Amino acid sequence: MSHDISALTLAQKASLLSGQGFWTTKAIEDAGIPSIMLTDGPHGIRRQDGAADHLGINDALPATCFPPAVAVGSSWDPEVAAEVGAALGREALAAGVSVVLGPGVNIKRSPLCGRNFEYYSEDPLLSGVLGSAHVQAMQRVGPGASVKHFAANNQEHERMRISAEVDERTLREIYLPAFERVVTEAAPATVMAAYNKVNGVPASHSPWLLTDVLRTEWGFQGAVVSDWGAVSDRVAGVAAGMDLEMPGRGVATDQEIVDAVRSGRLSEEQVDVAVHRVLALTDLPHRPTGTVDVDAHHELARTLAADSVVLLKNDRDVLPVTTVAHMAVIGPLAVEPRFQGGGSSHINPTRVDAALDRIRDHARQRGMAVEYAEGYLLGDDMNARARCDVAADLATRADLAIVFAGLSEREESEGFDRETLSLPAEQIEVIKAVAAAAPRTVVVLSNGGVVSLEGWHDQVDGILEGWLLGQAGGSAIADVLFGVVNPSGHLAETIPFRVQDNPSWHNFPGEQGHVRYGEGVMVGYRHYESAGIPVRYPFGHGLSYTTFRTSNLRVESVGTDSASVQVTITNTGERAGKHVVQVYVATEAGPVRRPVRELRAFAKAALEPGETTTVGFTLDRRAFAYWDITLGQWVVPAGDYVIQIGENASSIVAEQSIALTGDVIVRPLTLESPVGEWLSHPAVGPAMVGVLSSGTADEEPVEVGLRMVESMPMQQFLAFTGGAFPMEMLEHMMELSTAGTAAV
Ligand code: BGC
């Protein structure tokens, strides 16, 4: 709905561009403009009716805590993301919340980022597909989303002032595509501008990000809202396309906008545009409607969590738990689960399931005995040795020991990054002592960011990565342990052997106000696979209690720059299960170094035992393109492309190569262009080579000589050779080069 703002004064209009306080926009009652509420997000509604804060310190009203993004990422299932989005939409409607702040689609550049639990993946496609499903489903229910934090907010250290130094190809291929997908597919009501700077310009004041890319290129129609406290220059923000400053800082900064219009630094039209975008948010539902079925949402949270658990290791089929008489459960995380991260996303849950309770339920039904020992404390412990001994003693008497290990909010949270991937030392001691004592040991992990499995991995039989699973995570873990649910999660991020192996290691978290994204596009598995660096578990890894066969891969090119893919999947085991088909593209085509392979499509299929299905994909041009910095556009170079079906990013089970003609690119030659480019230019190259070769009987010396000058700009070449080519000829060739067609 378009709003008539002609009756508003400049001061009133300026006032609409910042919040009333922490969570609401300003109302202008005389003009019929209501106030609306924005709250976190992203995996529960954090509606505060008392003291407000953006760090999750003060209480919020009870709401369902759904699985955080780290879990949803591991589900590899847009349906899971959509269910979370829709349920949040329902809870927001009931609470009268118009905009829910999330999802966060920042890329997990380093496993050390303290806020990785709020992000989906190290891969932009996976992040974008899940984020888009979340936003579409939530907005279908009614409330608006706020995809965040735009852009290149990949660490917590100095997050409010660090400048992410990222080259444009890397931004376009890694850090922007998830936002691009959410904006272009799901049309979120708002985009949240990040705290950090990008290449020296604050993201919340960046005309390039907020106007050129977001609106002009991607067609964003909604409002840009600042991250809480991200704005340092109101006027620069409005001029850049940052519409709503949150939280509001009172009349003084609104007055800065008025003054800027009066002095001509800002036009009133610019203010009007921002006002219209903010007023459009008041069309979102803002009066509490409907009720929340708290029980149903808890059950939903349990189902979604179970779909997100990743079975990393399952030697000797230690899981699911079947023929066990006496089970030892160890670790306080089984009793007091860690199911969400610290900071602005901190939800006051409607209830919390402890894994131990649900394990006892399942065990009772099967006539199994369960005993519990603490083993360690989350925090300082004067009696660590004794506590560990008690656990080991219990394990000696059990057929199976299950150790719950993980991180506490002391180790990871919004606001700071981790310094190590290790589990706390006392937990490692307990795992080792229990594994030495029990005939079989399973470790269940609760952690928001990747933890190292080294020092104990080989001593245990099974590992279940439970991440942070939301308030029903305890039940979900028990369901997976007992095979009530067949695990189907896959890693959305690599588990390296050593943190030093991560490509950002030398440049994380930056220094003196700058963090250099020196690894470029080689983020996560793109680096490990390209450099051949072994990892503990690759991106995409995840086991099941059943087995799947991949067959009959059929790939066909479509037009010059796209392809269609079909592949057949069969459940060859004895249980129903879900399989993730992962489609990677591998190529060396084009003038830039490409990662060895990149995820370009995926789908999750549910199959009964013995069932077969065929899954089809369309790979559009972006699946084959790179961002060309000289042309400032996506380019599909002519060449060979291998379509690979991976069990994970390291293990390819089927592949087929296709040749694409790619784009027709005109690269005009100038005197700055290197000699090699002139000689290889399809329109003029052959003639140039002809001139050089004429008069030489033996071709080899010319070739050797050419290699030496290939990278020399033509201008210098002319100077050194005393004019190897006549200038009129070069001028003619330059003209031909712009008109002619040439492949990259
Ligand atoms: C966080 C945002 C959050 C906002 C409001 C900020 O500190 O970075 O993600 O939405 O606070 O709580």
pLDDT digits (tens, 9 = 90+) for 19-76: 998 999 999 999 999 999 999 999 999 998 888 887 777 788 999 999 999 999 999 9
In the reported structure, the alpha carbon of residue 518 is separated from the centroid of ligand 1 by a whole-number distance in angstroms of 27
Substitution site in 38, 46, 157, 228 for ligand 1 pocket (most atoms within 8 Å of beta carbon) = 228
**54 ligand 1 Cβ < 6 A:** yes
Residue 192's SS3 state is strand
Task: Give the pLDDT score at 696.
Answer: 54
Task: Give the pLDDT score at 501.
Answer: 98
What lies within 8 Å, CB to CB, of 134 at 6+ separation is 42, 72, 81, 82, 84, 85, 102, 103, 145
> DSSP characters for 551-579?
EEEEEEEETTTEEEEEEEEEE-SSS-EEE
Beta strands in 34-122 (DSSP E): 38-40, 99-101
Which atom of ligand 1 lies closest to the CA of 101?
A: 10
**148 ligand 1 Cβ < 6 A:** yes
Q: Is it the case that residue 660 has pLDDT exceeding 80?
A: yes
Helices (H) then strands (E): counts for the chain: 21, 26
Residue 459's SS3 state is helix
Which atom of ligand 1 lies closest to the CA of 40?
A: 10
The residue whose two tokens read 């990677």 is: 584
CA-to-CA distance for 225 and 98, rounded, in angstroms? Answer: 13
Catalytic residue IDs: 227
In the reported structure, the alpha carbon of residue 230 is separated from the centroid of ligand 1 by a whole-number distance in angstroms of 10
Contact (Cβ atoms closer than 8 angstroms) between residue 476 and residue 305: yes
Contact (Cβ atoms closer than 8 angstroms) between residue 56 and residue 282: no
Residue 167's SS3 state is coil
Q: Is it the case that residue 219 has pLDDT exceeding 90?
A: yes
Confidence of residue 667 (pLDDT cuts 50, 70, 90): confident
CA 433: distance to chain centroid? Answer: 36
Mean pLDDT, the chain, as a whole number? 95
**101 ligand 1 Cβ < 6 A:** yes
**Rounded to the nearest 5°, which phi and psi values hold at 265?**
-70, -30
In the reported structure, the alpha carbon of residue 192 is separated from the centroid of ligand 1 by a whole-number distance in angstroms of 9
**Rounded to the nearest 5°, which phi and psi values hold at 35?**
-95, 145
As given in the structure block, the two tokens for residue 344 are 């602005």
As given in the structure block, the two tokens for residue 175 are 């850090």
Q: Whose CA is nearest to atom 12 of ligand 1?
A: 54
Amino acid making up residue 507: N
CA-to-CA distance for 737 and 715, rounded, in angstroms? Answer: 17
CA-to-CA distance for 392 and 331, rounded, in angstroms? Answer: 12
Q: Whose CA is nearest to atom 9 of ligand 1?
A: 344
In the reported structure, the alpha carbon of residue 212 is separated from the centroid of ligand 1 by a whole-number distance in angstroms of 25
Alpha helices in 183-250 (DSSP H): 207, 234-240
Q: Is it the case that residue 394 has pLDDT exceeding 60?
A: yes
State the pairing for strand pair 201-202/197-198.
Answer: antiparallel
Task: Give the pLDDT score at 135.
Answer: 98
What average pLDDT does range 550-569 have in this prediction? 98
As given in the structure block, the two tokens for residue 311 are 């079975």
What average pLDDT does range 229-241 have in this prediction? 96
Q: Is it the case that residue 743 has pLDDT exceeding 60?
A: no
What average pLDDT does range 257-263 have in this prediction? 97
Confidence of residue 698 (pLDDT cuts 50, 70, 90): low
Substitution site in 24, 99, 344, 414 for ligand 1 pocket (most atoms within 8 Å of beta carbon) = 344
Confidence of residue 701 (pLDDT cuts 50, 70, 90): low
Which atom of ligand 1 lies closest to the CA of 146?
A: 10
CA-to-CA distance for 570 and 653, rounded, in angstroms? Answer: 13
Amino acid making up residue 743: A
Task: Give the pLDDT score at 725.
Answer: 87
Q: Is it the case that residue 251 has pLDDT exceeding 90?
A: no
In the reported structure, the alpha carbon of residue 344 is separated from the centroid of ligand 1 by a whole-number distance in angstroms of 5
% of the chain with per-residue pLDDT over 70: 98
Strand order in the sheet with 163-165: 201-202, 197-198, 163-165, 514-516
Task: Give the pLDDT score at 741.
Answer: 44
CA-to-CA separations, 631 to 125, 187, 273, 359, 598, in angstroms, rounded = 23, 28, 31, 59, 22
Task: Give the pLDDT score at 569.
Answer: 98
**40 ligand 1 Cβ < 6 A:** yes
Task: Give the pLDDT score at 744.
Answer: 34
Substitution site in 117, 227, 414 for ligand 1 pocket (most atoms within 8 Å of beta carbon) = 227
Confidence of residue 253 (pLDDT cuts 50, 70, 90): confident
More confident residue, 11 or 736: 11
The residue whose two tokens read 């499903």 is: 133
**41 ligand 1 Cβ < 6 A:** yes
Confidence of residue 534 (pLDDT cuts 50, 70, 90): very high
For residue 241, the 8-state DSSP code is: T
Which atom of ligand 1 lies closest to the CA of 56?
A: 12
Three-class HEC string of 293-330: CHHHHHHHHHHHHHCCCEEEEEHHHCCCCCCCCEEEEE
CA-to-CA distance for 329 and 181, rounded, in angstroms? Answer: 43
What average pLDDT does range 141-163 have in this prediction? 97
**344 ligand 1 Cβ < 6 A:** yes
CA-to-CA separations, 323 to 377, 440, 482, 543, 566, in angstroms, rounded = 30, 12, 11, 20, 40
The residue whose two tokens read 């936002």 is: 179
Which atom of ligand 1 lies closest to the CA of 118?
A: 9
CA-to-CA distance for 543 and 323, rounded, in angstroms? Answer: 20
CA-to-CA distance for 17 and 661, rounded, in angstroms? Answer: 49
Substitution site in 39, 40, 118, 161 for ligand 1 pocket (most atoms within 8 Å of beta carbon) = 40
Region at 580 (left for phi over 0; alpha for psi -120 to 50; beta for the rest): beta
**228 ligand 1 Cβ < 6 A:** yes
What average pLDDT does range 413-435 have in this prediction? 96
In the reported structure, the alpha carbon of residue 101 is separated from the centroid of ligand 1 by a whole-number distance in angstroms of 8
As given in the structure block, the two tokens for residue 402 are 């299950």
Q: Is it the case that residue 707 has pLDDT exceeding 90?
A: no
Contact (Cβ atoms closer than 8 angstroms) between residue 585 and residue 624: yes
Give per-residue pLDDT as tens, 582-611.
Answer: 999 999 999 999 999 999 999 999 999 999
CA-to-CA distance for 647 and 594, rounded, in angstroms? Answer: 21
What lies within 8 Å, CB to CB, of 524 at 6+ separation is 108, 122, 123, 493, 494, 503, 539
Which atom of ligand 1 lies closest to the CA of 153?
A: 8
Task: Give the pLDDT score at 32.
Answer: 95
As given in the structure block, the two tokens for residue 637 are 């170079």
Give per-residue pLDDT as tens, 302-332.
Answer: 999 999 999 999 999 999 999 899 999 999 9
Please provide the size of the chain in residues. 744
**254 ligand 1 Cβ < 6 A:** no
% of the chain with per-residue pLDDT over 90: 88
